[in-house]
């Protein structure tokens, strides 16, 4: 219902280009791995596909009843990042989606980027491909940061958004399906993820850098007015 309502509005307000959509299977489990520049990435990707797309989202988005309904309707699953191994919980939840034949979308960079690069990805996407035996489809998103810049609440109309899907890639199948990561060399996951991120960068029209997304720095404190300083020694 949400797609039916938003689809015509979205394509009326924005110039949307989609390339390589035939790479996305019409059924069965698969992972969409995309670069992440804007909050609206999670709106654009599902709207250009006929299938339901599931995201793993910050649980904080679901804390308010005013927004929780929207994220659930958009196919997002809450993941708590505090306490315990959050990465492992996210991985197990992703496996459940894929086991049910779903289409899972993730951002291997882990967070939105503030610069012009595509950064080094986390290897969870490679583990999903190997453990679940599913293909990973690289996705390049271009122009979403012009539609909705970081930390801006509203989307700016009449911008061009391009979504490019690349050919599926897949980790080598495990010899033992019951123990897919047994005796597995982590460097294989790392190499697979690095190659995937380079493909995503090419699809997004951006340069790849072999380093993780830098953490955001808190805004610098405003220097106090010298006239407000106490005269007491």
pLDDT 10s digits, 80-126:
665 456 667 778 888 999 999 999 999 999 889 999 999 999 998 99
More confident: 137 or 55 = 137
- Only one residue has tokens 């106490």, namely 230
Distance of alpha carbon 67 from alpha carbon 51, whole angstroms: 23
Distance of alpha carbon 123 from alpha carbon 110, whole angstroms: 10
Question: Measured in Å, how far apart are the chain's first and last C-alpha atoms?
Answer: 68
Q: To 10 degrees, what angle do helices 124-132 and 186-204 make?
A: 110
Distance of alpha carbon 75 from alpha carbon 53, whole angstroms: 6
**Dihedral of CA 216/125/128/192: which sign?**
negative
Phi and psi at residue 134, to the nearest 5°: -115, 155
Instruction: List the domains of the chain with CATH numbers.
Output: 13-216 (3.40.1130.10)
CB 116 within 8 A of CB 150: no
Distance of alpha carbon 189 from alpha carbon 31, whole angstroms: 15
Kindly give, in sequence order, each residue whose CB lies less than 8 Å from that of residue 154, ignoring residues fewer than 6 positions away.
Answer: 148
pLDDT 10s digits, 4-46:
887 888 888 999 999 999 999 999 999 999 999 998 998 899 9
The encoded tokens of residue 232 equal 């007491």
Q: Which residues pair with 15 in a beta bridge?
A: 160
Mapping DSSP onto H, E and C, the string for 148-201 reads: CCCCCCCCCCCCEEEEEECCCECCCCCCCCCCCCCCCCHHHHHHHHHHHHHHHH
pLDDT at 229: 41
pLDDT at 23: 98
Distance of alpha carbon 166 from alpha carbon 150, whole angstroms: 26
Whole-model pTM? 0.85
């Amino acid at each position: 219902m949400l797609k039916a309502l938003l689809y015509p509005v979205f394509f009326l307000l924005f110039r949307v280009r989609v390339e390589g959509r035939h790479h996305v299977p019409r059924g069965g489990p698969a992972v969409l791995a995309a670069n992440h520049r804007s909050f609206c990435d999670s709106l654009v990707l599902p709207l250009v596909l006929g299938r339901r797309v599931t995201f793993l989202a910050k649980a904080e988005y679901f804390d308010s009843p005013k927004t929780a309904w929207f994220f659930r309707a958009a196919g997002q699953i809450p993941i708590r990042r505090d306490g315990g191994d959050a990465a492992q919980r996210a991985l197990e939840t992703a496996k459940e989606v894929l086991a049910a034949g779903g289409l899972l979308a993730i951002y291997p960079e882990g967070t939105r980027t503030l610069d012009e690069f595509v950064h080094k990805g986390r290897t969870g996407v490679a583990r999903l491909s190997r453990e679940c035996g599913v293909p990973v489809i690289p996705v390049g998103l271009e122009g979403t940061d012009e539609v909705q810049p970081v930390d801006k609440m509203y989307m700016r109309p009449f911008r061009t958004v391009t979504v490019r899907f690349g050919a599926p890639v897949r980790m080598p199948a495990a010899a033992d399906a019951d123990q897919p990561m047994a005796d597995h060399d982590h460097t294989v996951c790392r190499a697979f993820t690095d190659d995937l991120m380079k493909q995503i960068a090419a699809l997004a029209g951006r340069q790849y850098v072999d380093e993780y997304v830098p953490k955001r720095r808190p805004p610098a404190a405003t220097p106090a007015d010298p006239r407000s300083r106490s005269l007491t020694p």
